[in-house]
Each structure stands twice: as C-alpha cells, then as structure tokens.
Amino acid sequence: MSGEAKTTKTRSLPGRQLLAWAGGLFGARRQSDAAGVSRARARRTFSASRVIVLLALLATGATLISAGAGYGLAQQSDERLWSEQRGALRNAVAEFRNLFGQTREVDPRFVRMVEQSARLQGLKFEIEPSASEREMQPVLDAQGRIAGFFTWEKTRPMAMAMDRLMPFVVGLAIVLIGFAGFSLTQLRRAGRDLALSEEQARRAADEDKLTGLPNHAKTLELLDLFLAEHAGHEATTFALIELDGMEDVTAHLGVLGSDELIVAVAERLREAVPPDAVVGRVGSDEFAVMLTADATVDIEAMLRAVLDSVARPHWFDTVVRVSAHAGFAQAPRHATTRGELTRRAELALRAADKKGTGSIVAFDTAIDTVSNDQKFIHRELPRALSANELELHYQPIIAAHGGRIVGVEALLRWTHPTRGPIGPAVFIPVAEQMGLMDTLGAFVLRRALHEAKRWPDLYIAVNLSPLQVRDRTIVDLVRSALEESGVAPSRLMLEITEGVLIDNPEEMVKRIEDLHDLGVRVALDDFGSGYSNLSYLQRFPLDKLKIDRSFVVALGTSANGGVIIQAIVALGRALGLSVLVEGVETEQQRVLLRLAGCDEMQGFLFARPAPAATIDRLLSQQKQNTGAKTLAPPPATLTA
C-alpha cells in the first residue's frame, strides 16, 4: 500500500462495540457441532435441575406439612383421650359418691378399678392436693363437700409417638433441604452454562465456521451499519475478493488442504486491510472487505496490497501459491442501498474475473449496461423463440482449389423488433444459463436441414454447444431431424469444440461414434485456440479440422504463422482429416493458405453470413462464372 493510502485518515466503525465484535469474532474459532452438543447438554442439565429443585422443594414442604398435621392430629387425639378419662372418672365418682367422706381412706381396690375403667395412669386418692404436675380432680361426698382429690399422671401417647418419629422427620427434611440447595446451585450453574452456550450459538450463527470471519448474513448486517452511519464527506466501500484456481488447489492438496489455505488467506486479509476495515467470508472462495473512510482514500491501492499479500507463497507440506481478483463499489458514489451496492460490487468482480488474475475493477456504468442487456435478453429470449424471431444466416465454405462453394455454415441470428440485431456472443451465454440451449440447438439443426434441401450440392455445417454434446439425447435429435428433412446424413457436418473432449473422453468417443453410425461427419472447431492436445486427434474419430482464425491473422505479420498452419495441415492429412481455415479476409491470406495445402476456406473475403436467399444468389452467380477459378468477392449489397 502506498504511503498516502496508509496515512490517510479513515473513519472508525459505527460504534466501539462493532470493532470489539469484529476483533473478537475471528479469535473465537470453534466447531459448530461441538457447540451444538454443549448447548443441548446445557439445556438438558438446566431442565433437569429445575425439575429436581422443584421436586425437592415440594418434598420438603410436604414433609413439614405432614409433620405439622401429624402433631395437630396427635394433640387432638390426646385431648379426646383426656376428655374421655375425665368423663369416666366423674362417672365412677358419681356412682360411688357415698363411699367418700366417711373415712379419710379409700379402698385401694376401688382406686385400681377406677384407674382401669378410666384408663388413667398412676391414679391416687389424696385428702390434700399435692403441688406436683399431676392431673387433679376434686371428689365431692354426698353432702357436696370436697372429700379429697383424685390425681394421676397425664399421658400423651400420640404426642409421644410423634416425638419418637420426629428425629426421622427432621433428618429427612434436612436431607431434602440440603438436596434442594445443592440442586439450586446446579440450577444456577446450568443457567450460566446455558446462557454461555446460547451466546456461543448466537456468535456461531454470525461467523464462518472455518475462518471465524463474519459469514454472509452477518457481513450484510454489518454493511447496513456502515451505510447507516457514514458521514457526508466519507465513502463506504464494499469490495469482493475471489480466489483463483481453488479447484486445482483442492485437486492437489485435498479438501483439508484447501481448508487450511482458506484459513491462511483469511488471516492475511485481516492483516492486510486497515484496522477499521472488516473482512467477511461470503462464499467458498470469496471474501468481502468493508471500509468507511474519507472519499480521497485510494481503495485500489489498498486492494492491491491485499491481493499482493494473498499471492505470497503459503507454506504447508508444500509451497502453495494462489492469486485473486477483486471488484468494488462505493456508496454514495455508485449506490445508496445495500442491495444495489452489493449487486454492483458483484458486477465489478465479474468484470475483474474476465480481465484475469490479479485484476482490480471499480464499478462503472458500462458494466451495469452489460448486466441490463443480460436482463433484457433473459426476459426477451423465450418470447423471441415462441414468436419465431430467430433466424439462420449461412456463410459459404469455399474449396481452396477451384474456388467453388462446397458447403455453408449455419449461424444463428436474432433481430429484436426494438433493439435490432443481437449477436450470438451476447445471447448464447444467457441461453445456456437459462437452460434454453436444447431448444435453440434443436431449432438450428431442424431449420438448417430444412433449408439445406434447396442446395443439394452443398453440405451444411451446424455448431453444437458443449451442453448439447454432453447430452446423450443429441444422437436421437440428429436422427429425427435427418428423418424429418430427408437430407442425406453425409451432407451434415457437426462442429464441436476442444473443450467438450476433455470432460469425459470415453463418453465423447462413444458419442462421436454413434453420430458416425448415423452417417454424419464431425469437425473439430477452433483448433489451436484451446487445449490443442494432439492426442485428441488420434483418440477421437474426427473427420475435419477447422483452424482458428487467430493463425490466419498472423499470416504476413509473423514468420511462424505460415509454418504453423503448414504443420497443422500436414498433421491433418497424416491422420486422414480434411482441413478448413476460417477468418480469411484478404487475397494474400487466401493465396498463402492455398499454398500451405488447406482444403477449404471460409471468411469475409468470400462472403459474410447472410440469409438463405442470399446464398441462392451466390450459387446462381457461381454458375454464371463457371469459368472462373475462384469466387469473386460478392457485391457490397450481398456482404452487408
């Protein structure tokens, strides 16, 4: 990062708590599964402790209530006993009232009898009342005078039974109270554990499990805070950084190795960005950087330092190098809402991806124009298919010797009612994203074979998209299209690109053989522009090579251009393949390519792609010029 970028004053995050959260989040790396198990265990412990405490308190209360009730019932039972004893004693005294007052003594046998009948303990007859705690009842003689007193020991059988039982009750209550206290302690501890576990769960929901960075949802939440609190002279930057070649890293190091690399990259990103910036992980190999700073801060310089940091070698069991590209958008310069800001940053990232490794792209309205065009195509292409707005143009294929038209290549064209012509390079990728290539491919094949019937002496070349070639139903489609049109299979040349051959070579060999069984021919298109693996030419049963136009451009400007084409022609002939060169635009190129040994040519020198009616006129012109060795360039009205 430049010194200016380093020393420019940046604004702190919205609130100190946000900085504390962002700083602590990265250090709190934990496994989500372990946190979930801990949280579930804490919940179970907390619930069990609550139940145990409740049961212990209920048992303690029940014990105390039962003890109190028991004492009350014992007291009532003893009082009833005392009442019955006094009643029995009064009845006995009344029955034998005449015995009292005659002498100072009472027959002991009478006393024992009364004692037994009244169920009294230690019953005695005394002339004078004693000062003891014994129960006492006066005895009246026949004249109503007090003749003496019956005294006895007051008994409490039920209360005494309760007294004997009370130590056990007290012990049980103490145990229950102690258990309840212990359970209450456990309940408080479980509550703290559960609160901590819930906090961990909340943080886990906000952070990426692997790196500890804010995850996608939390990143967007933080971006809302940045946008809500940036000042008028400041700019909030939302940058996206995508790693390049992670598929190769995974293939070389495995999943665990790629995870280690992601963690290492995340750490470098945190170290490389300014202290007030926040880094989040928003995809498997995609990161976001958010920063609110003065509008004069050089964001590209900051991102360049970040990409350089990522590109430094990473040391694991081996040295690993990984690069990245970045795109960014700023508020309020490019957008004012979170949705629009993230969308435009994503568009900038795509543009950087197209530019190549290490690219940094700031959002520009031109990028959004392309995006709007894609949205337009996404909306209009299905309608165009149903409205039959798509049509085929054909470009002649010329024999290198003699200059005759020997075939035509069918090329899809779309003329929109309001937008005008829309090139295939624009709408074909959108059609692939929408899953319309099967429909488009079937349309092109059937329409081309239908119009080929008007040119019985020409073969017709039809391009197959990679999606069509990978689809096993392509053979059935070609068979049915040939049967519907009645065109001889030998007149159909299907063109495929090198890329589809490497995906599943065994399946592609079988696919080409099945097409050959129908009688059609297969050409390898754009040879030399991709992998150019010579083993493909030996392994796959091809019929023709189409040399890419980039080699034609080099003719006359590069000493090796002609040599390379000669080598490709020689290779094709050695393998029994015919060779076609596309992109011929000058007479000099035509002569050099014919001398190099090419079989067929195609390009603007001969004719531009045009509707079928134009091909009819070109063929008519060719018949009129049967004596000419080459086809003269068509008039401007035919090549426009």
The CATH number given to whatever domain includes residue 242 is: 3.30.70.270
What band does 453 get if pLDDT is binned at 50, 70 and 90? Answer: very high
Residues 83 and 47 grouped into a single domain: yes
640 assigned to some structural domain: no
Residues 616 and 549 grouped into a single domain: yes
What band does 200 get if pLDDT is binned at 50, 70 and 90? Answer: low
What band does 99 get if pLDDT is binned at 50, 70 and 90? Answer: low
Q: Please check whether residue 468 is in contact with residue 429, taking contact to mean a CB–CB distance below 8 angstroms.
A: no
For 161, the enclosing helix (H) or strand (E) is helix 157-206
Integer Cα distance of 113 and 81 in angstroms: 18
The residue among 331, 363, 395 that closes a domain is 363
Residues 619 and 488 grouped into a single domain: yes
Name the residue among 144, 344, 323, 341 with its Cα closest to residue 248.
323
pLDDT at 17: 38
Would you call 463 exposed, middle or buried from its count of C-beta atoms within 10 A (0-12, 13-18, 19+)? buried
Would you call 243 exposed, middle or buried from its count of C-beta atoms within 10 A (0-12, 13-18, 19+)? buried
637 assigned to some structural domain: no
Residue span of the structural domain in which 503 resides: 372-626
Highest mean pLDDT: which range of 9-23, 139-153, 218-232, 519-533: 218-232
Indicate if the alpha-carbon torsion angle 484, 485, 490, 494 is positive or negative: negative
Integer Cα distance of 466 and 628 in angstroms: 40
Q: What single-letter amino acid sits at 573?
A: R
The answer to whether the pTM exceeds 0.75 is: no
Integer Cα distance of 52 and 59 in angstroms: 10
Q: What single-letter amino acid sits at 299?
A: I
Q: Check whether 604 has a pLDDT greater than 90.
A: yes
CA 532, chain centre distance (Å): 37
pLDDT at 103: 55
215 assigned to some structural domain: yes
Residues 116-169 have pLDDT tens digits of 767 777 677 777 776 666 777 777 766 667 767 777 777 777 767 777 777 777
Q: Which residue has the higher pLDDT, 557 or 290?
A: 290
Average pLDDT over residues 455-469: 91
Q: Check whether 36 has a pLDDT greater than 60.
A: no
Average pLDDT over residues 562-572: 86
Residues 517 and 599 grouped into a single domain: yes
Residues 313-342 have pLDDT tens digits of 988 778 888 999 999 999 888 888 998 899
Pairing of strands 521-527, 314-315: unpaired
Question: 504 — phi, psi (to 5°)?
Answer: -145, 80
What band does 42 get if pLDDT is binned at 50, 70 and 90? Answer: low
Highest mean pLDDT: which range of 129-133, 352-356, 377-381, 515-519: 515-519
Residues 485-503 have pLDDT tens digits of 999 999 999 999 877 777 6
pLDDT at 418: 87
The residue among 329, 363, 397 that closes a domain is 363
Residues 221-273 have pLDDT tens digits of 999 999 888 777 889 999 999 999 888 888 888 888 888 999 999 999 999 99
pLDDT at 556: 67
Residues 141 and 220 grouped into a single domain: no
What percent of the chain has pLDDT above 70? Answer: 79
- Please write down the long-range contacts of 482-486, taking CB distance under 8 Å and 24 or more positions apart: 482/449, 482/518, 482/520, 484/446, 484/449, 484/450, 485/446, 485/449, 485/450, 485/452, 485/453, 486/453
pLDDT at 530: 59
367: left (phi over 0), alpha (psi -120 to 50) or beta: alpha
pLDDT at 167: 78
CATH number of 477's domain: 3.20.20.450
Residues 466 and 403 grouped into a single domain: yes
Compute the mean pLDDT over every residue in the chain, rounded to the nearest whole number: 80
Residues 242 and 340 grouped into a single domain: yes
Q: Check whether 617 has a pLDDT greater than 80.
A: yes
pLDDT at 527: 83
Residues 183 and 255 grouped into a single domain: no
67 assigned to some structural domain: yes
Name the residue among 321, 304, 346, 318 with its Cα closest to residue 244.
321
Integer Cα distance of 206 and 224 in angstroms: 15
Residues 268 and 410 grouped into a single domain: no
Integer Cα distance of 206 and 217 in angstroms: 7
Integer Cα distance of 412 and 428 in angstroms: 9
Highest mean pLDDT: which range of 117-126, 194-203, 302-311: 302-311
Q: Check whether 54 has a pLDDT greater than 80.
A: no
pLDDT at 449: 96
Q: Which residues of 589-598 are buried (b: 16+ CB within 10 A; e: fewer)?
A: bbebbbebeb
First to last CA, the chain: 52
Residues 189 and 213 grouped into a single domain: no
98 assigned to some structural domain: yes
Q: Which residue has the higher pLDDT, 308 or 103?
A: 308
Helical ranges in 453-586 per DSSP H: 466-470, 474-485, 499-503, 505-518, 534-539, 549-553, 561-574
Domain count, the chain: 3
The residue among 363, 396, 416 that closes a domain is 363
For 244, the enclosing helix (H) or strand (E) is strand 234-244
pLDDT at 40: 65
CB within 8 Å of 373: residues ≥ 6 apart: 426
Q: Check whether 43 has a pLDDT greater than 70.
A: no
CA 143, chain centre distance (Å): 111
Integer Cα distance of 215 and 220 in angstroms: 9
Average pLDDT over residues 627-633: 47
∠154-159-164 over CA atoms, to 5°? 120
633 assigned to some structural domain: no
Name the residue among 163, 243, 174 with its Cα closest to residue 211.
243
| Residue with the two structure tokens 């349309």 | 443
pLDDT at 241: 95
pLDDT at 2: 37
pLDDT at 455: 95
152 has which bridge partners?
135
Residues 318 and 229 grouped into a single domain: yes
Integer Cα distance of 522 and 514 in angstroms: 11
Q: Which residue has the higher pLDDT, 60 or 425?
A: 425
Q: Check whether 14 has a pLDDT greater than 50.
A: no
User: What six digits make up the tokens of 547?
Assistant: 């040399």
Residues 156 and 179 grouped into a single domain: yes
Helical ranges in 273-314 per DSSP H: 299-311
What band does 212 get if pLDDT is binned at 50, 70 and 90? Answer: confident
pLDDT at 104: 57
Residues 371-422 have pLDDT tens digits of 667 778 888 888 888 888 899 999 999 999 888 999 999 999 999 888 889 8
Integer Cα distance of 570 and 545 in angstroms: 11
Question: 498 — phi, psi (to 5°)?
Answer: -65, -30
pLDDT at 564: 84
Least confident of 86-90, 235-239, 347-351: 86-90
383 assigned to some structural domain: yes
Q: Please check whether residue 539 is in contact with residue 505, taking contact to mean a CB–CB distance below 8 angstroms.
A: yes
Residues 432-447 have pLDDT tens digits of 877 888 889 999 999 9
632 assigned to some structural domain: no
Average pLDDT over residues 477-482: 95
